[in-house]
Structure formats: C-alpha cells, structure tokens
Amino acid sequence: MEWLRHAGIAYRLRWKRRRLLFRAWRKRHQLRVVADRTASIAPDAILGAVTVRNEMVRLPHFLEHHRKLGVGHFLMVDNASDDGTTEFLAQQPDVSLWTTTHSYKLSRFGMDWLTWLQIRHAHGHWCLTLDADEIFIYPYHDTRPLRALTDWLDANDRQSFGALMLDMYPKGRLQDHPYRPGDDPFTELCWFDAGNYMIQKKPDLQNLWIQGGPRARMFFADRPRRAPTMGKMPLVKWNRRYAYVSSTHSLLPRRLNRVYGEDGDERLSGILLHTKFLNVVVEKSAEEKTRREHFANSDLYEAYYDSLIANPDLWCEGSTRFTSWRQLEALGLMSRGEWV
C-alpha cells in the first residue's frame, strides 16, 4: 500500500500549502507601505525578496552585489529597525518597502509577509529570496549575469535552484575584525569549513537537510542534529500558489525541492556566502537572546547565543581560505552541472 501512503502525504501537503497561503493573506494587514514602486517592475524583471531588521551595516554591499548580478527590483519588509535601515531603503529607487512592528517569530520568521508580497508582485518572475546576511553566487557569476542563469533554467524546464549556505568567518576573534558599510565583507570573512557536512533527504518534503560548518563544529558538537540547516532553494520561478515552508529550506509544492541529482548526476547549484560572523554579530546576539525572535525553540539556543556573545574565534587548523567559486566547485560544495 505504498501508493496509499504517498497519496496521504501529498494530500496533507496540499492542505499545508493552502494554510500557508491563507496565513500570508491574513498577515497582509500587518504591513504598512513606505515606498511602493512596484508599478515600475518590468515584465521580465528578476526580483529580490528580503525581510530585514537593523541591517544598515550590511545593506550597501548586499544591494550592490545583487544589483550587479541582475536583480531588477527588491521587495523588502523592515521589521521595526532603529538604525537608519528604513530611511536608507526608502531612498533606493529599485526598492519597494513595507514596515511592520509585529512579531518576526509569529510571522514564520518573516515568510508570511514575504509570501503575501510574492503573491501580489512576483507571480511569473524569477525571485531571489534572501536574508540580508546572504550573498548569492553561482557558477560563472563573475562573467555571466543572473539572467543567463534563469534563461538556462527556463530552457531546461527547471523552476527552482538550490544553494548551500556557507558560513564565512575571520581568523581570530570576531570583534577584532571591524567592518565598514559598503566594503567587501569577504576581505575579512575569508575562511570556511570545507568538509564537515552531513546530508539527509527528508522523506515528506524531499528536500536535502544539510548540517555542518563552524556552527555545528563549535556550538553543537554534542548535539549535531540540532545544528542549523544549510540547504536552501533561494531562486524560484514564482507562482502565486507557491509557499516556503521553513525559511527557504523547503518549498511547496514539494517538486520544487528536488534541486539535486538522484541518479549520480550533478545538478547545477550555487552558494549563499553567509556574512553572519561580521564583528556586529557579538552585539546582535545579545539583542537576539533578549528578543527571542529568531528560533522556534529559543531555549535550545541559549548556549549558542552565549558563545557568540563571548566573541569567539571560529578558525581552526582545518579551515579553508576562500578564493573563488571554482574552488567551491572543486570541493564539491557547488556544481556547474550541465551548464557549460
């Protein structure tokens, strides 16, 4: 009766997706428009979708990088920033901005808000859904624009694109490496863990659950299955009936999660260079520990926040210095697959 079990899973996931879309519709009233420039979105524009809070340090480089790749317009939600983020984003001609003071945690960590904006404005567009501390790269990103990638995905009937989130960190204690807004963060965050990753396939959603990197090594060594998951599907040819389930780690319909080869073939994939470990993470961790808005089980992460507040050195003898996307491909962390 295997077919009956699969039919039951498919039925439950269809209703889950409907509930997620209904949640987004209900949460739409939590958003207040600051700058709605969506009328200027071109029919073929690639969109960015981001929720932010107090990210003024990261935003200049974040926007510059993704504009250069080819993102034509950003749909952004600001969650009660008080560091100038709101004012900065409101001045950007390619940003449509909404604000909210409601709970980030109770909005499924911002996904309800973004899902509503994607329903309204992203249908039919390729959409790159990111956090402000994620820098998207892919094979040939230094010579081929994002449009070349999405054209290839369209031509090969692929509606989603997978990426590994790669934690980048400095050599030495985090606060010993000051960062100035607009600078390249990877001048300092130039180290990563190359090989300590565990992968399992989730039987229901069929996404890859990837754990590892310096956070698993440093903060979850005694409970590795509690470490943050690193696999994501950030780039999707959006449809108003789609919904992310858990951040960008999984999607519904679940066919969108099959961004990996199952018969020994390598699928084209990318990397999210994670800038969480800029020097500001020490101060931010103290705030996040107090706010308790970033994890469903906040108590589990008490020791994690305490470790970050202690200004750790994440570097070890096994750390690898970052050079290029080709290096990441050679290490098996990303793949150009069939795209040549």
pLDDT on residue 36: 98
Low-confidence ranges of the chain (pLDDT < 70): 1-4, 264, 293-301
pLDDT on residue 9: 85
pLDDT on residue 224: 83
pTM score of the predicted model: 0.95
Could you give the CA distance from residue 161 to residue 269 in angstroms, rounded to a whole number?
6
pLDDT on residue 286: 79
DSSP structural state of residue 56: T
Angle at 309 between CA 307 and CA 312, to 5 degrees: 60
DSSP structural state of residue 217: H
pLDDT digits (tens, 9 = 90+) for 312-321: 999 999 999 9
pLDDT on residue 102: 96
pLDDT on residue 282: 87
pLDDT on residue 112: 98
Spell out the domain ranges in the chain: 2-330
3-state secondary structure 126-161: EEEEEECCEEEECCCCCCCCHHHHHHHHHHCCCCEE
2-330 adopts what CATH topology? Spore Coat Polysaccharide Biosynthesis Protein SpsA; Chain A (3.90.550)
DSSP 3-state assignment of 254?
Answer: helix
pLDDT digits (tens, 9 = 90+) for 195-226: 889 999 999 999 999 999 999 999 988 888 88
Quickly list DSSP for 165-216: EEE-B-SSBGGGS---TTS-GGGT--EE--S--EEEE-TTT--EEEE-HHHH
